[in-house]
Protein backbone atom coordinates (compact mmCIF):
# COMPACT_ATOMS: atom_id res chain seq x y z
CA UNK A 1 0.00 0.00 0.00
CA UNK A 2 1.24 3.48 -0.85
CA UNK A 3 1.82 6.13 1.85
CA UNK A 4 -0.95 8.71 1.65
CA UNK A 5 0.95 11.77 2.87
CA UNK A 6 3.80 11.07 0.45
CA UNK A 7 1.30 10.86 -2.40
CA UNK A 8 -0.36 14.10 -1.33
CA UNK A 9 2.92 15.94 -0.93
CA UNK A 10 4.03 14.90 -4.39
CA UNK A 11 0.74 15.72 -6.08
CA UNK A 12 0.27 19.14 -4.47
CA UNK A 13 3.71 20.09 -5.78
CA UNK A 14 2.73 19.63 -9.44
CA UNK A 15 1.54 22.51 -11.64
CA UNK A 16 -1.92 21.82 -13.05
CA UNK A 17 -4.72 24.40 -13.17
CA UNK A 18 -7.85 23.68 -15.22
CA UNK A 19 -6.94 22.88 -18.81
CA UNK A 20 -3.27 22.36 -17.95
CA UNK A 21 -3.40 18.98 -16.16
CA UNK A 22 -0.81 17.07 -18.23
CA UNK A 23 1.96 17.05 -15.61
CA UNK A 24 -0.48 15.88 -12.93
CA UNK A 25 -1.73 13.10 -15.19
CA UNK A 26 1.83 11.95 -15.88
CA UNK A 27 2.65 11.92 -12.17
CA UNK A 28 -0.44 9.86 -11.33
CA UNK A 29 0.27 7.43 -14.16
CA UNK A 30 3.62 6.62 -12.56
CA UNK A 31 1.88 5.97 -9.24
CA UNK A 32 -0.91 3.70 -10.51
CA UNK A 33 0.74 1.52 -13.16
CA UNK A 34 1.77 -1.27 -10.72
CA UNK A 35 -1.87 -1.70 -9.67
CA UNK A 36 -3.75 -1.13 -12.94
CA UNK A 37 -5.01 -3.41 -15.69
CA UNK A 38 -5.16 -0.52 -18.13
CA UNK A 39 -4.25 3.19 -18.25
CA UNK A 40 -5.27 5.70 -20.92
CA UNK A 41 -6.09 9.37 -21.42
CA UNK A 42 -8.89 10.89 -23.48
CA UNK A 43 -9.14 13.98 -25.65
CA UNK A 44 -10.18 16.29 -22.81
CA UNK A 45 -7.22 15.16 -20.67
CA UNK A 46 -8.93 12.79 -18.25
CA UNK A 47 -6.72 9.98 -16.97
CA UNK A 48 -8.69 6.72 -16.80
CA UNK A 49 -7.30 3.74 -14.89
CA UNK A 50 -9.05 0.37 -15.08
CA UNK A 51 -9.11 -2.46 -12.54
CA UNK A 52 -10.90 -5.32 -14.25
CA UNK A 53 -13.77 -7.30 -12.79
CA UNK A 54 -16.89 -9.06 -14.03
CA UNK A 55 -19.55 -7.35 -11.93
CA UNK A 56 -21.03 -3.87 -12.05
CA UNK A 57 -19.21 -1.15 -13.91
CA UNK A 58 -18.25 1.50 -11.35
CA UNK A 59 -16.71 4.89 -12.08
CA UNK A 60 -14.74 6.69 -9.36
CA UNK A 61 -13.75 10.29 -10.05
CA UNK A 62 -11.36 12.77 -8.41
CA UNK A 63 -10.46 15.93 -10.30
CA UNK A 64 -6.81 16.72 -11.04
CA UNK A 65 -7.18 20.41 -11.81
CA UNK A 66 -6.86 23.37 -9.46
CA UNK A 67 -8.07 26.93 -9.49
CA UNK A 68 -5.56 29.48 -10.73
CA UNK A 69 -4.97 32.61 -12.78
CA UNK A 70 -4.30 33.44 -16.42
CA UNK A 71 -2.45 36.56 -17.52
CA UNK A 72 -4.71 38.86 -19.57
CA UNK A 73 -2.77 42.13 -19.94
CA UNK A 74 0.61 43.60 -19.02
CA UNK A 75 0.80 47.22 -17.85
CA UNK A 76 3.52 49.53 -19.19
CA UNK A 77 5.04 49.34 -15.70
CA UNK A 78 5.32 45.51 -15.91
CA UNK A 79 2.47 44.63 -13.55
CA UNK A 80 0.34 41.74 -14.82
CA UNK A 81 -3.45 41.79 -14.88
CA UNK A 82 -5.15 38.40 -14.78
CA UNK A 83 -8.41 36.52 -14.99
CA UNK A 84 -9.71 33.75 -12.76
CA UNK A 85 -9.41 30.09 -13.65
CA UNK A 86 -12.13 28.63 -11.47
CA UNK A 87 -13.48 30.16 -8.26
CA UNK A 88 -10.98 32.66 -6.85
CA UNK A 89 -11.96 34.33 -3.57
CA UNK A 90 -10.64 37.91 -3.65
CA UNK A 91 -10.60 38.00 0.16
CA UNK A 92 -7.80 35.40 0.07
CA UNK A 93 -5.56 36.93 -2.60
CA UNK A 94 -3.64 39.95 -1.28
CA UNK A 95 0.00 39.21 -0.48
CA UNK A 96 -0.18 35.65 -1.79
CA UNK A 97 2.75 34.20 -3.71
CA UNK A 98 2.06 32.64 -7.09
CA UNK A 99 4.14 30.77 -9.63
CA UNK A 100 3.70 30.74 -13.40
CA UNK A 101 3.90 27.58 -15.50
CA UNK A 102 7.46 28.49 -16.58
CA UNK A 103 8.61 28.82 -12.94
CA UNK A 104 8.52 32.63 -12.67
CA UNK A 105 7.35 33.68 -9.17
CA UNK A 106 5.08 36.60 -8.38
CA UNK A 107 3.06 38.27 -5.64
CA UNK A 108 -0.64 39.13 -5.79
CA UNK A 109 -1.67 42.61 -4.71
CA UNK A 110 -4.34 45.25 -5.41
CA UNK A 111 -4.76 48.94 -6.11
CA UNK A 112 -4.53 50.55 -2.66
CA UNK A 113 -6.71 53.52 -3.68
CA UNK A 114 -9.72 51.16 -3.73
CA UNK A 115 -11.57 50.60 -0.45
CA UNK A 116 -11.47 46.97 0.69
CA UNK A 117 -15.25 46.71 0.56
CA UNK A 118 -15.22 47.75 -3.11
CA UNK A 119 -12.54 45.36 -4.34
CA UNK A 120 -13.23 43.23 -7.39
CA UNK A 121 -10.84 41.02 -9.34
CA UNK A 122 -10.07 43.79 -11.83
CA UNK A 123 -8.34 45.73 -9.04
CA UNK A 124 -5.74 42.97 -8.54
CA UNK A 125 -2.43 42.43 -10.31
CA UNK A 126 0.62 40.17 -10.16
CA UNK A 127 4.02 41.70 -9.41
CA UNK A 128 6.97 39.70 -10.79
CA UNK A 129 9.52 42.33 -9.80
CA UNK A 130 10.25 43.92 -13.17
CA UNK A 131 10.24 47.58 -14.23
CA UNK A 132 8.58 47.55 -17.64
CA UNK A 133 6.21 45.77 -19.98
CA UNK A 134 9.13 44.82 -22.23
CA UNK A 135 10.95 43.17 -19.34
CA UNK A 136 7.83 41.32 -18.19
CA UNK A 137 7.14 40.04 -21.70
CA UNK A 138 10.47 38.24 -21.73
CA UNK A 139 8.86 35.84 -19.26
CA UNK A 140 5.08 36.23 -19.33
CA UNK A 141 2.62 36.64 -22.21
CA UNK A 142 -1.17 37.02 -22.11
CA UNK A 143 -2.45 33.46 -21.82
CA UNK A 144 0.26 32.28 -19.41
CA UNK A 145 -1.25 30.40 -16.45
CA UNK A 146 -0.27 30.71 -12.78
CA UNK A 147 -1.17 28.98 -9.51
CA UNK A 148 -0.70 29.61 -5.80
CA UNK A 149 2.82 28.82 -4.61
CA UNK A 150 3.49 26.88 -1.42
CA UNK A 151 4.56 23.63 0.20
CA UNK A 152 2.82 20.65 1.79
CA UNK A 153 3.56 19.85 5.43
CA UNK A 154 2.25 17.62 8.22
CA UNK A 155 1.75 18.44 11.90
CA UNK A 156 0.53 15.36 13.75
CA UNK A 157 -2.62 14.31 11.90
CA UNK A 158 -3.08 17.63 10.08
CA UNK A 159 -2.00 18.33 6.48
CA UNK A 160 -1.31 21.95 5.51
CA UNK A 161 -1.02 22.67 1.80
CA UNK A 162 -2.13 24.55 -1.26
CA UNK A 163 -4.53 22.61 -3.45
CA UNK A 164 -5.73 19.86 -1.18
CA UNK A 165 -8.74 20.54 -3.41
CA UNK A 166 -8.44 18.13 -4.99
CA UNK A 167 -4.99 16.61 -5.03
CA UNK A 168 -5.84 15.03 -1.69
CA UNK A 169 -8.82 13.37 -3.37
CA UNK A 170 -6.51 12.12 -6.14
CA UNK A 171 -4.13 10.71 -3.52
CA UNK A 172 -7.06 8.97 -1.82
CA UNK A 173 -8.08 7.32 -5.10
CA UNK A 174 -4.51 6.21 -5.79
CA UNK A 175 -4.24 4.69 -2.33
CA UNK A 176 -7.64 3.00 -2.64
CA UNK A 177 -6.53 1.43 -5.93
CA UNK A 178 -3.33 0.17 -4.28
CA UNK A 179 -5.43 -1.53 -1.58
CA UNK A 180 -7.52 -3.56 -4.03
CA UNK A 181 -5.84 -6.86 -4.84
CA UNK A 182 -8.84 -8.23 -6.73
CA UNK A 183 -12.32 -6.95 -7.45
CA UNK A 184 -15.71 -8.40 -8.23
CA UNK A 185 -16.71 -5.19 -10.04
CA UNK A 186 -15.24 -3.56 -13.14
CA UNK A 187 -13.63 -0.39 -11.79
CA UNK A 188 -12.72 2.81 -13.64
CA UNK A 189 -10.64 5.26 -11.61
CA UNK A 190 -11.01 8.63 -13.36
CA UNK A 191 -8.68 11.51 -12.57
CA UNK A 192 -10.74 14.18 -14.22
CA UNK A 193 -9.86 17.43 -15.98
CA UNK A 194 -11.48 20.87 -15.76
CA UNK A 195 -13.76 20.24 -12.77
CA UNK A 196 -13.17 23.73 -11.40
CA UNK A 197 -14.62 25.33 -14.53
CA UNK A 198 -17.79 23.25 -14.84
CA UNK A 199 -17.33 19.50 -14.14
CA UNK A 200 -16.27 19.11 -17.77
CA UNK A 201 -13.94 16.13 -17.58
CA UNK A 202 -16.26 13.97 -15.50
CA UNK A 203 -19.08 14.65 -17.94
CA UNK A 204 -17.19 13.34 -20.96
CA UNK A 205 -15.63 10.43 -19.03
CA UNK A 206 -18.99 9.28 -17.68
CA UNK A 207 -20.49 9.43 -21.18
CA UNK A 208 -17.62 7.27 -22.43
CA UNK A 209 -17.57 4.70 -19.60
CA UNK A 210 -21.36 4.21 -19.27
CA UNK A 211 -21.06 3.06 -15.66
CA UNK A 212 -23.80 1.50 -13.54
CA UNK A 213 -22.73 3.52 -10.51
CA UNK A 214 -20.48 6.51 -9.83
CA UNK A 215 -18.65 7.78 -6.75
CA UNK A 216 -16.79 11.09 -6.63
CA UNK A 217 -13.97 11.85 -4.19
CA UNK A 218 -13.45 15.50 -3.31
CA UNK A 219 -13.04 17.85 -0.38
CA UNK A 220 -15.90 19.50 1.51
CA UNK A 221 -16.29 22.44 3.86
CA UNK A 222 -16.39 22.09 7.64
CA UNK A 223 -18.56 23.86 10.19
CA UNK A 224 -16.12 23.77 13.11
CA UNK A 225 -14.37 27.17 12.84
CA UNK A 226 -15.23 30.27 14.89
CA UNK A 227 -17.87 32.50 13.31
CA UNK A 228 -18.44 30.21 10.34
CA UNK A 229 -20.88 31.72 7.84
CA UNK A 230 -22.77 28.55 7.00
CA UNK A 231 -23.30 26.03 9.78
CA UNK A 232 -22.84 22.42 8.71
CA UNK A 233 -22.52 19.13 10.57
CA UNK A 234 -19.02 18.25 9.33
CA UNK A 235 -15.90 18.50 11.49
CA UNK A 236 -12.21 17.89 10.95
CA UNK A 237 -10.78 14.56 12.20
CA UNK A 238 -14.20 12.93 12.74
CA UNK A 239 -14.14 10.78 9.62
CA UNK A 240 -14.86 11.13 5.92
CA UNK A 241 -18.26 12.51 4.92
CA UNK A 242 -20.88 10.78 2.81
CA UNK A 243 -22.50 13.35 0.55
CA UNK A 244 -26.26 13.72 0.77
CA UNK A 245 -26.64 16.78 -1.44
CA UNK A 246 -24.94 19.88 -2.82
CA UNK A 247 -25.90 22.46 -5.44
CA UNK A 248 -25.08 20.08 -8.30
CA UNK A 249 -26.68 16.87 -7.09
CA UNK A 250 -29.05 15.01 -4.78
CA UNK A 251 -27.17 11.77 -4.25
CA UNK A 252 -28.78 8.46 -5.09
CA UNK A 253 -30.05 6.78 -1.89
CA UNK A 254 -28.66 3.46 -3.16
CA UNK A 255 -25.10 4.85 -3.15
CA UNK A 256 -25.52 6.57 0.21
CA UNK A 257 -26.69 3.28 1.68
CA UNK A 258 -23.84 1.34 0.04
CA UNK A 259 -21.28 3.67 1.61
CA UNK A 260 -22.96 3.67 5.03
CA UNK A 261 -23.11 -0.12 5.14
CA UNK A 262 -19.44 -0.36 4.14
CA UNK A 263 -18.46 2.14 6.83
CA UNK A 264 -20.33 0.11 9.43
CA UNK A 265 -18.61 -3.13 8.38
CA UNK A 266 -15.20 -1.42 8.36
CA UNK A 267 -15.85 0.35 11.68
CA UNK A 268 -15.19 3.74 10.08
CA UNK A 269 -16.87 6.77 11.58
CA UNK A 270 -18.56 8.81 8.84
CA UNK A 271 -20.34 12.15 8.73
CA UNK A 272 -23.25 13.41 6.64
CA UNK A 273 -22.43 16.15 4.14
CA UNK A 274 -25.11 18.64 3.17
CA UNK A 275 -23.29 21.34 1.21
CA UNK A 276 -25.34 24.43 0.39
CA UNK A 277 -22.90 25.79 -2.19
CA UNK A 278 -20.55 24.24 -4.71
CA UNK A 279 -20.63 20.94 -6.54
CA UNK A 280 -18.47 17.98 -7.53
CA UNK A 281 -18.08 15.41 -10.29
CA UNK A 282 -21.02 13.56 -8.69
CA UNK A 283 -23.50 15.78 -10.51
CA UNK A 284 -21.91 15.23 -13.91
CA UNK A 285 -21.85 11.45 -13.46
CA UNK A 286 -25.45 11.26 -12.28
CA UNK A 287 -26.72 13.14 -15.36
CA UNK A 288 -24.71 11.21 -17.94
CA UNK A 289 -26.78 9.76 -20.81
CA UNK A 290 -29.90 8.23 -19.23
CA UNK A 291 -28.51 8.71 -15.70
CA UNK A 292 -26.70 6.51 -13.16
CA UNK A 293 -26.71 6.02 -9.41
CA UNK A 294 -24.19 8.49 -8.01
CA UNK A 295 -22.75 9.59 -4.68
CA UNK A 296 -19.58 10.90 -3.11
CA UNK A 297 -17.06 10.44 -0.34
CA UNK A 298 -15.83 13.83 0.85
CA UNK A 299 -12.79 14.82 2.89
CA UNK A 300 -13.46 17.57 5.47
CA UNK A 301 -11.17 20.50 4.63
CA UNK A 302 -10.85 24.01 6.02
CA UNK A 303 -10.20 27.14 3.93
CA UNK A 304 -11.07 25.58 0.55
CA UNK A 305 -10.04 27.69 -2.47
CA UNK A 306 -7.56 29.61 -0.36
CA UNK A 307 -3.75 29.47 -0.76
CA UNK A 308 -3.52 27.39 2.44
CA UNK A 309 -5.93 24.52 2.97
CA UNK A 310 -6.03 22.18 5.96
CA UNK A 311 -7.28 18.59 6.34
CA UNK A 312 -6.93 15.50 8.51
CA UNK A 313 -4.68 12.69 7.27
CA UNK A 314 -6.74 10.09 9.15
CA UNK A 315 -9.97 11.32 7.52
CA UNK A 316 -8.33 10.86 4.12
CA UNK A 317 -6.92 7.44 5.01
CA UNK A 318 -10.34 6.27 6.15
CA UNK A 319 -11.85 7.64 2.94
CA UNK A 320 -9.45 5.42 0.97
CA UNK A 321 -10.35 2.38 3.10
CA UNK A 322 -14.07 3.06 2.69
CA UNK A 323 -13.83 3.41 -1.08
CA UNK A 324 -11.68 0.32 -1.57
CA UNK A 325 -14.08 -1.83 0.44
CA UNK A 326 -17.26 -0.36 -1.07
CA UNK A 327 -16.43 -0.84 -4.72
CA UNK A 328 -14.48 -4.12 -4.80
CA UNK A 329 -17.16 -6.40 -3.28
Active site residues: 195
User: Who's near 193: CB < 8 A, 6+ residues apart?
Assistant: 18, 19, 21, 44, 45, 46, 63, 64, 65, 200, 201
Query: Which among 69, 18, 67, 66 has a CA at the least distance from the CA of 45?
Result: 18
**Whether 270 contacts 241, CB under 8 Å:** yes
| DSSP 8-class letter at 185 | S
In angstroms, the CA 94 to CA 109 distance is 5
Backbone angles phi, psi at 18, to 5 degrees: -55, 130
**Whether 173 contacts 51, CB under 8 Å:** no
Q: Are strands 293-302 and 213-220 parallel, antiparallel or unpaired?
A: parallel
In order of 27, 81, 114, 140, 191, the CA distances from 106 in angstroms are 25, 12, 21, 11, 29
Specify the DSSP element, H or E, that contains 114.
none
Q: What is the DSSP string of 60-98?
A: EEEE--B-EEEEEEE-TTS-EEEEEES---GGGTTT-EE
Amino acid sequence: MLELFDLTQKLTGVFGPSGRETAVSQTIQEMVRPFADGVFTDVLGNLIVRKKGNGKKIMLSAHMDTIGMVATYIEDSGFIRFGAVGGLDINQLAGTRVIFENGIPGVLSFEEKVALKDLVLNHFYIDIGVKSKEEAEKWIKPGTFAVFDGTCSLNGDTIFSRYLDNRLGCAVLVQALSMIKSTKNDLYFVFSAQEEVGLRGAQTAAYQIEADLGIAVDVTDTGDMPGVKNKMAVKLSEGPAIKITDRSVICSPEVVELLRNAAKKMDINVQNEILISGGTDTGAMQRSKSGIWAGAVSIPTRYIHSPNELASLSDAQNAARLIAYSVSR
